[in-house]
Amino acid sequence: MKGGKNFNDIEISKKMRNIKPKLKIIFKPLLYSEMFFIFTVFLYLTGPVEYNKVNLPFLLFLLFIYQLMFILGYIFFVKRHAITVINDNPLSSSLNKTKHKERKVFHLLKFLIVTTLIFQMIIFYIYTQIAPIDFNEIISSVLFSINDPISSYTQSFSNSSYSGILILFLVLYSPFLYFTFALGIYYLGKLSLFYKLTLLMAIVYEVMRWVVLGRNKGVFDMLIIVFSVIIIKILQNRFINPREKRRKEFIKQSLNIVLVIILSVLVLSYFTNTIGSRTQHYSYSPEYYNSLLLKITPNFLHSFLIYLTNYLTQGYRALSHIADVTWTPMFGIGNSTFLIANFGSVFKTDLFQYTYQFKLTEYGIDSTASWHTFYTWVANDVHWLGVTIVMFFIGYFFAFVSVRAIVYRDTIAYPLFALLFMIIFYMSGNNQVFSYPYSFMAFWLLIIYWLLIKLKVIKYSSLVNKEPTLINN
The DSSP secondary structure of 111-144, one letter per residue, reads HHHHHHHHHHHHHHHHHH---TT-HHHHHHHHHH
Does 2 reside within a domain? no
Measured distance CA(429)–CA(370) in Å, rounded:
9
What was the pLDDT predicted at 92?
A: 45
Cβ contact 319:372 at 8 Å: yes
For residue 265, the one-letter residue type is: V
Does 150 reside within a domain? yes
Q: Note the helical H segments in 407-468.
A: 413-426, 432-435, 437-454
Domain interval for residue 235: 7-472
Does 432 reside within a domain? yes
Does 1 reside within a domain? no
What was the pLDDT predicted at 19?
A: 62
- How many structural domains is the chain composed of? 1
In this prediction, the residues of the chain whose per-residue pLDDT falls under 50 are 1-2, 7-12, 14-16, 84-94, 282, 469-473
What was the pLDDT predicted at 106?
A: 82
Does 438 reside within a domain? yes
**For residue 241, what are the contacts with CB-CB under 8 A and spacing of at least 6?**
90, 249
**For residue 472, what are the contacts with CB-CB under 8 A and spacing of at least 6?**
81, 82, 83, 84
Task: Note the pLDDT tens digit of each residue in 81-140.
Answer: 765 433 333 444 445 555 666 677 888 899 999 999 999 998 888 888 889 998 899 999
What was the pLDDT predicted at 300?
A: 79
- Nearest partner of 439 among 260, 109, 218, 232, judged by Cα: 218
**For residue 197, what are the contacts with CB-CB under 8 A and spacing of at least 6?**
none
- Quote the pTM value: 0.87
Residue 163 burial (CB count, 10 A): 9
What was the pLDDT predicted at 90?
A: 41
What was the pLDDT predicted at 93?
A: 45
What was the pLDDT predicted at 369?
A: 76
Give the side-chain half-sphere CA count within 13 A for 395: 26
DSSP string, 381-395: HHHHHHHHHHHHHHH
Measured distance CA(39)–CA(423) in Å, rounded:
16
Does 64 reside within a domain? yes
First to last CA, the chain: 27
